[in-house]
Amino acid sequence: MTDLSHIRNFSIVAHIDHGKSTLADRLIQETKTVADRDMKAQMLDSMDIERERGITIKANTVRIEYPAQNGLTYILNLIDTPGHVDFAYEVSRSMRAVEGSLLVVDSTQGVEAQTLANVYQAIDADHEVVPILNKIDLPASDCDRVAAQIEDVIGIDASGAIRVSAKTGEGIIETLEAIVHHLPAPKGDRDAPLKAMLVDSWYDSYLGVVVMIRVMDGVIRKGDRIKMMQTGAVYGVDKLAVMKPKMVDIKELGPGEIGIFTASIKQVRDTKVGDTITTEKKGTDKPLPGFKPSVPVVFCGLFPVDSAEFDDLRDAIEKLALNDASFSFEMETSAALGFGFRCGFLGLLHLEVIRDRIEREYDIELITTAPSVVYHIFMKDGTQRDLHNPADMPDLTHVDHIEEPRIKATIMVPDEYLGDVLKLCQDRRGIQMDLTYAGSRAMAVYDLPLNEVVFDFYDRLKSVTKGYASFDYQLTGYREDNLVKMSILVNDEPVDALSMMVHRDRAELRGRAMVEKLKDLIPRHMFKIPIQAAIGGKVIARETLSALRKDVTAKCYGGDATRKRKLLDKQKAGKKKMRQFGKVDIPQEAFISALKMDS
Amino acid sequence: MPEDWENGGFGLYIHWPFCQSKCPYCDFNSHVAASIDQKRWAAAYLTEIDRVGALTPGRVLRSVFFGGGTPSLMEPEIVGAILDRVRATWPTTNSIEITLEANPTSVEAGRFTGYRDAGVNRVSMGIQALNDPDLRALGRLHTVKEAYRAFDIARGAFDRVSFDLIYARQGQTLDAWQAELREALSKAVDHLSLYQLTIEEGTAFGDRYAAGKLRNLPDDDLAADMYEATQDICGEMGFPAYEVSNHAKPGSESIHNLIYWRYGDYAGIGPGAHGRLTFGGRRFATTTPLAPGAWLDRVEKTGTGALPDEGLDRPDEATEFLLMGLRLTDGVSLDRLSALSGDRFAPRIAALTDMGLLEQRHGHLQTTDAGRPVLNAVLRELLSD
């Protein structure tokens, strides 16, 4: 065990690409936690997707031993948190597990929306925050301006901000000293009953479920019988370790310490982030505050392009769900797309990550249907139901009213793009809540319906601001609005996978955009094809895809027979990638592309 | 009962792979070479005629076609030597058609009587356009004036003369094409091939198109209008279409090309030449090395230009029979279709007939006027599982 006064626990708050992972690598390297020959970039990001996208999805931890300049050796526990809004709850739990944060800001860029959301989480968790101005080796670095911005926008003292180049190593020692001297030591009672927070968990193919914990009070030892207070399940601790960042076994973890254990837990689903772990006997009866079950907020259908791959898809989804408790799924049947799954995600990034992993790790091509949020449908008979899929919308005559989820969106943008951003938010039914400036950057806060954001809001935002805007959001609650289900009919047949919930006032616009897009996306057939958007029985937009008029090979002689035959055989295989609706073939990419709005 | 191929007849294709320059739209097996040892090439062709002749003894030859490349770069003596060997190898019909493709330049026109004396009785000239800027854009080496001069020489030398035009060119309007086509028809002897410009991958045009630099190509609707106008004008002026891109005075259709479209047997000689030959009721696809040097080498060193044959199964044959035959205005024989594939296509034929794209007439399955311009789509539908 380590004396509490010699422990410091911290996280790093940063916007994507501001250098969080590089700084973590440098801290690990400087303290010789990992031998130089074993160093690789982004030590803490283990999944390919994490490394590739430069994002952190799972929390991770590393224990660093630092001999400080005062002659004492300190244990520094870094928790690397997910940085994305989709994982806001997970971030909040990680924040509760440490006492301080390093706020890393790129000194060539300045504060971004995501930095704000995470730093507020840190402040909410009563952290000491040490500002770090990174990338001082770059010519565009402007530390004074960025320090002033940190004080203006975030409202914390940045006069002692440490100037660092995680790339060259400059300022790393100063950072380690600041951790020791500016961050508080953890508190805790070694003699009290065990109280540990479940920070995160993941599946390891050798060890099974690995649980990361922060001990608040008491001691956990190998062999202990422990209890998860939310689920009531009891397990025996098989392995107890700290991460350096390789697992190193340890006999016990006391107050203030961070480590991992395994306990023959079968599924990640059995572990709840934020749960309190205590001993089976003589345990505490007071769980740590703030636990929330994870609730998916965005749903979409995932269907295999090749319907023969349905079983493979089920297999892939079940395997992924083993390691991701926040991802939900149930079988779905679509008249258009056949068998697939309706899946729930914490947000859009989460959706993309899961979809990418299925396509990449399991090599299954997917059709993804329009993402939808969860609507609350209030029926005339007084009952209420959740609608995850527009295809399940009940008959309107039985519906009293519908509520939709709203978010508070924070957007930071250089002021030359502000006009376009405000227009985008306005077009998406946004209500402005705040608009402030810090230097030449504006911060706009909007109350927006989540359904206007789930599909392509972020893409549009990036496009109208040439990538300079940053965006973050949090769910605020539900509100009634005039929502309707819009159906799309192709050649007079409704295509369920294209139906969507829209605001009545936006329906014509969306319907028009959809049918125009589809007209371009569906290849011409040998007959003309009406494409319509309808609400109930009423058509609100219509386009006609005219019949194919010319598709014939100009020259075809004796030497062309083989090539033409093989081409026809190949097209036969290609046709399997199209979905047939009545007599019409719709290419798979149409299901997503049709939903993208140009404004 | 005759074998299936006998309904289509038997012809010989000879590929001469060289050109003076490569046209930017052309994806044929053609090459520009500094010097060609024509005697070596002639010997190789004769070796190949002997080899194929031994495989197909007694078959009655209906046609010989010198294609390329630019066969009008061949010395007339060599054409003569080849045709002498052909006549010594197979019995021929009285009306045997012997076609040679020619570029309409003055140099080549000077060889026309030589070809006639060697036995050629039909030329097919690549005129391509009737205005000089478009000829230059198509990478052609001749002018309109030169083409007409060569064409007049050809008419003097041969009873049967065909020429090619390419339409739906960059910037071409419907009116301009109609006017050009009428002018062409006023000059035509008995046959015209009218090809819509197709941008093929791996050609200079293909590269330019992919880079977004091939502008002002007619869109699908204009191209369709041009095709329809072509059918109307040619019909009205006595040159009805007998195939998607080919028009002739009735009775002057190309015997050789009809063998392909009627899915007969044909031997292919020369680099990259394909053949279809039936032995014991099974049809084989034959091929040879594509590169001129590789072919010549193989023939000289091994005595054969043939690469391993591909045996076609019945479904392959049915596919080829339909994809070639439905190009013809006459279509395909329903008896032959059912001999190849039973009634496998019956439901699809019925559906496409309901859609007004196919029809049956005099025991033949044909595309309608509406179906022929979308033949690729008709075939995809017809041949889908």
Task: Say which DSSP state A527 is in.
Answer: S
Q: Is the predicted pLDDT of residue A571 greater than 60, yes or no?
A: yes
Confidence (pLDDT) at B153: 95
Tokens of residue B224, six digits:
């369709």
Tokens of residue A552, six digits:
């014939």
Contact list, B198 vs chain A (CB under 8 Å): 553-555
Section B204-223 average pLDDT? 91
- Look at A457 and B8; give whichever has higher pLDDT: B8
Q: Which of A427, A432, A429 is nearest to A444 (CA)?
A: A432
Q: Do A554 and B195 touch (CB under 8 A)?
A: yes
Q: Which of A68, A61, A36, A44 is nearest to A175 (CA)?
A: A68
pTM comes to 0.69
Confidence (pLDDT) at A42: 60
User: Any residues with CB less than 8 A from the CB of A419 and at least 6 apart, and which?
Assistant: none
What is the spatial distance between Cα A391 and Cα A371, in angstroms, rounded to a whole number?
Answer: 12
Q: Is the predicted pLDDT of residue B199 greater than 60, yes or no?
A: yes
Helical (H) or strand (E) element with B132: helix B132-137
Confidence (pLDDT) at B362: 94
Section B367-371 average pLDDT? 95
Q: Do B274 and A550 touch (CB under 8 A)?
A: no
Half-sphere exposure of A41 (CA within 13 A, CB side): 9
Q: Is the predicted pLDDT of residue A319 greater than 80, yes or no?
A: yes
Q: Is the predicted pLDDT of residue A186 greater than 60, yes or no?
A: yes
Half-sphere exposure of A528 (CA within 13 A, CB side): 6
For chain B, the average pLDDT equals: 95
Count CB atoms within 10 A of the CB of residue B65: 27
Count CB atoms within 10 A of the CB of residue B122: 24
What is the spatial distance between Cα B34 and Cα A212, in angstroms, rounded to a whole number?
Answer: 75
Section B57-81 average pLDDT? 96
Section A61-71 average pLDDT? 93
What is the spatial distance between Cα B168 and Cα B144, in angstroms, rounded to a whole number?
Answer: 18
Residues in B 201-230 with any Cβ partner in A closer than 8 A: 220-221, 223-224, 227
Confidence (pLDDT) at A20: 81
Helix (H, G, I), strand (E, B) or coil at A419: helix
In DSSP notation, A456-517 reads THHHHHHHHTTT--EEEEEEEEEEEE-EEEEEEEETTEE-GGG-EEEEHHHHHHHHHHHHHH
Query: Which amino acid is residue A549, in one-letter code?
Result: R
Residues in B 329-358 with any Cβ partner in A closer than 8 A: 355, 357
Confidence (pLDDT) at A576: 62
What is the spatial distance between Cα A29 and Cα A23, in angstroms, rounded to a whole number?
Answer: 10
pLDDT, tens digit (0-9, with 9 covering 90-100), for A342-357:
999 988 778 888 888 8
CB pairs under 8 A between A and B: 96
DSSP H helices, A158-210, are 172-182
Q: Is the predicted pLDDT of residue A173 greater than 80, yes or no?
A: yes
Query: With bands split at pLDDT 50, 70 and 90, how would you rate the model's confidence at A599?
Result: very low
Confidence (pLDDT) at B372: 95
Query: With bands split at pLDDT 50, 70 and 90, how would you rate the model's confidence at A85?
Result: low
Confidence (pLDDT) at A53: 53
Query: With bands split at pLDDT 50, 70 and 90, how would you rate the model's confidence at A52?
Result: low
Which range is least confidently modeled, A24-38, A163-177, B261-275, B281-295? Answer: A24-38
For chain A, the average pLDDT equals: 88
What is the spatial distance between Cα A343 and Cα A327, in angstroms, rounded to a whole number?
Answer: 7
Confidence (pLDDT) at A460: 86
Confidence (pLDDT) at A46: 54
What is the spatial distance between Cα B377 and Cα B372, in angstroms, rounded to a whole number?
Answer: 10
Q: Does B163 touch chain A (CB under 8 A)?
A: no
Are A564 and B277 within 8 A, CB to CB?
A: no
- Look at A50 and B5; give whichever has higher pLDDT: B5
Helix-, strand-, coil-residue percentages of chain B, each rounded to 5: 45, 20, 35
pLDDT, tens digit (0-9, with 9 covering 90-100), for A384-414:
999 988 888 998 889 999 999 999 998 888 8
Helix-, strand-, coil-residue percentages of chain A, each rounded to 5: 30, 35, 35
Q: Which of A29, A18, A45 is nearest to A172 (CA)?
A: A29
pLDDT, tens digit (0-9, with 9 covering 90-100), for B309-351:
999 999 999 999 999 999 999 999 999 999 999 999 999 999 9
As a three-state string, the secondary structure of A53-72 is: HCCCCCCEEEEEEEECCCCC
- Look at A20 and B161; give whichever has higher pLDDT: B161
Residues in A 525-584 with any Cβ partner in B closer than 8 A: 525-527, 548-559, 561-562, 564-565, 568-569, 571-572, 575
- Look at B233 and A496; give whichever has higher pLDDT: B233
pLDDT, tens digit (0-9, with 9 covering 90-100), for A512-549:
999 999 999 999 998 999 999 999 889 999 999 999 99
Confidence (pLDDT) at A44: 62
Helix (H, G, I), strand (E, B) or coil at B190: coil
* Cα angle B8-B9-B14, degrees, rounded to a multiple of 5: 115
Q: Do A556 and B320 touch (CB under 8 A)?
A: no
What is the spatial distance between Cα A24 and Cα A30, in angstroms, rounded to a whole number?
Answer: 10
* Nearest neighbour of B274 by CB, restricted to A527, A562, A571: A562
Query: Which amino acid is residue B162, in one-letter code?
Result: S
Section B13-32 average pLDDT? 90
Q: Do A551 and B373 touch (CB under 8 A)?
A: yes
Confidence (pLDDT) at B163: 95
What is the spatial distance between Cα B37 and Cα B288, in angstroms, rounded to a whole number?
Answer: 20
Confidence (pLDDT) at A307: 84
Q: Which of B98, B91, B201, B204 is nearest to B157 (CA)?
A: B98
Helical (H) or strand (E) element with B59: none
pLDDT, tens digit (0-9, with 9 covering 90-100), for A498-514:
889 999 999 999 899 99
Confidence (pLDDT) at A158: 92
Count CB atoms within 10 A of the CB of residue A231: 12
* Nearest neighbour of B377 by CB, restricted to A548, A554, A555: A548
- Look at A562 and A326; give whichever has higher pLDDT: A562
Query: Which amino acid is residue B212, in one-letter code?
Result: G
Which range is least confidently modeled, A263-267, A593-597, B24-28, B90-94? Answer: A593-597
Percent of chain A at pLDDT > 70 equals: 94
* Cα angle A77-A74-A94, degrees, rounded to a multiple of 5: 15
Tokens of residue B164, six digits:
């090619």
Query: With bands split at pLDDT 50, 70 and 90, how would you rate the model's confidence at A45?
Result: low
Percent of chain A at pLDDT > 90 equals: 55
Strand B246-248 and strand B241-243: the pairing is antiparallel
Beta bridge partners of B14: B66, B269
Bond before A245 cis per omega within 30 degrees: yes
Query: With bands split at pLDDT 50, 70 and 90, how would you rate the model's confidence at A50?
Result: low
Q: Is the predicted pLDDT of residue A315 greater than 80, yes or no?
A: yes
What is the spatial distance between Cα B46 and Cα B87, in angstroms, rounded to a whole number?
Answer: 12
Q: Is the predicted pLDDT of residue B101 greater than 70, yes or no?
A: yes
Confidence (pLDDT) at A369: 85
Q: Do B323 and A564 touch (CB under 8 A)?
A: yes
Confidence (pLDDT) at B385: 72
Section A70-92 average pLDDT? 84
Confidence (pLDDT) at A376: 96
What is the spatial distance between Cα A95 and Cα A85, in angstroms, rounded to a whole number?
Answer: 14
Q: Is the predicted pLDDT of residue A598 greater than 80, yes or no?
A: no
Strand A7-14 and strand A73-80: the pairing is parallel
What is the spatial distance between Cα A108 and Cα A128, in angstroms, rounded to a whole number?
Answer: 24
